[in-house]
């Protein structure tokens, strides 16, 4: 199981949300991204960055993440 850091990137720089998180598979990674995107809403100019020891694994805009993860978000428990 690989370990990842999840960050929100703003015009002021990155904000680490979660560090050194064990993620079993791609679905689990995108579920975490979906939760972050839902929490941020349609925040313009904000990105979600996922990194591991090799570098950037995912870099996606919040609005794009909401679109890409619509099916995942629909199945998440309500806030």
Long-range (24+ apart) CB contacts under 8 A made by 9-16 are: 9/46, 9/47, 9/48, 9/49, 9/59, 10/45, 10/46, 11/45, 14/49
pLDDT value for 77: 85
Residue 44's pLDDT is what? 83
The pLDDT of residue 45 is 87
The pTM of the full predicted model, rounded to 2 decimals, is 0.89
CB 66 within 8 Å of CB 39: no
CA 20 to the chain's CA centroid: 14
Which tokens hold the place of 55?
Answer: 């570098």
Q: pLDDT tens string for the chain (79 positions)?
A: 999 999 999 989 999 999 999 999 999 999 999 999 999 987 788 999 999 999 999 999 999 999 999 998 888 887 6
């Amino acid at each position: 199981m690989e370990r990842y850091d999840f960050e929100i990137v703003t015009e002021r720089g990155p904000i680490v949300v979660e560090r050194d998180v064990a993620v079993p598979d791609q679905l689990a990674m995108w579920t975490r991204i979906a939760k972050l995107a839902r929490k941020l809403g349609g925040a313009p100019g904000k990105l979600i960055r996922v990194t591991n020891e090799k570098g950037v694994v995912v870099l996606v805009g919040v609005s794009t993440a909401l679109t890409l993860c619509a099916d995942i978000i629909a199945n998440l428990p309500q806030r």
